[in-house]
Amino acid sequence: MALTNIFGDSLKMRIRCTLIMCMTVMMCEAVFDVARTMTANDAGKISDTETSAGEDGSGNVLCRITAKAAVAVSNGLSEGFVYQRRETDGTVSDCLVNENSHTLFTISPGCTGLRQVVTFACIMLTAPGRAKQKVGYILIGGIIILTVNLLRIAIIACTCHDAMEWFYPTHDIAGATSVYGTMVLLWAIHIEKWIKRGEKEKLKTR
């Protein structure tokens, strides 16, 4: 009977944590979308000859770092990728180009992985557990998410090097799934460890 109560409580906790996580993700996404909409009016638009992997490129430092790192990873998987900064209609964009100087896509703020890291931090802060452990887990998880994001960009670049028609399938489906899947997996690992720790403590007290 005691074990039944424990596992019943664990199931309720998993459901509760999942609902809180989903609500947190939706709230974060809504905030990011509102912020993007507010800044989109002031941002220049990329020309029709360039494909943006997300929002309009802003040429900021984080985009530049991400683009250069993505080029390095892409050349590690294949070859022929170069980083370039290009200006179109007054907007500076950080671009991945091939050996023929053809722009494959630009790195925008939405491509840096920062959005997913912030979302991961929010769902971890709302998750149960000790604060110190969660802070450390957020730092480690953030590094993992950024690494997966770089691999995502590199794979998209390698796939689209000679076939740009594969950009949207790899970016919108495979790419987004890999980053958000990693984020949810990290959260699930934390929740399971916390629940199992609670189950052991309950068994000890019975």
Q: What tens digit of pLDDT does each residue of 116-159 get?
A: 999 999 999 999 888 888 999 999 999 999 999 999 988 888 88
Chain centroid to Cα 123, Å, comes to 13
Domain borders along the chain are 1-36+113-206, 46-111
DSSP string for residues in 180-206? HHHHHHHHHHHHHHHHHHHHHHHHHH-
What is the residue type of 65?
I
**Whole-angstrom distance, CA of residue 46 vs CA of residue 106:** 9
The residue that leads in pLDDT, 192 or 57, is 192
pLDDT of residue 172: 79
Four-residue CA torsion sign, 141, 147, 150, 151: negative
Q: How confident is the model at residue 8 (pLDDT cuts 50, 70, 90)?
A: low
Report whether pLDDT(1) > 50.
Answer: no
Within 8 A by CB and 6+ apart from 14, the residues are 191, 195
pLDDT of residue 137: 94
What is the residue type of 157?
A
Q: What tens digit of pLDDT does each residue of 19-74 get?
A: 999 999 999 989 988 887 776 554 444 344 444 444 444 448 888 888 899 889 98
Q: How confident is the model at residue 199 (pLDDT cuts 50, 70, 90)?
A: low
Name residue 96's beta-bridge partners: 83, 105
pLDDT of residue 6: 40
Buried b (16+ CB within 10 A) or exposed e, 166-197: ebeebbeeebeebbbebbbebbeebbeebbee
Question: Helix and strand tally (H, E) in the chain?
Answer: 6, 3
pTM to 2 decimals? 0.79
Q: What tens digit of pLDDT does each residue of 84-126 get?
A: 887 776 677 788 787 776 777 888 888 889 999 999 999 999 9
Count the Cβ atoms, other than its own, within 10 Å of residue 114: 18
What is the residue type of 150?
L
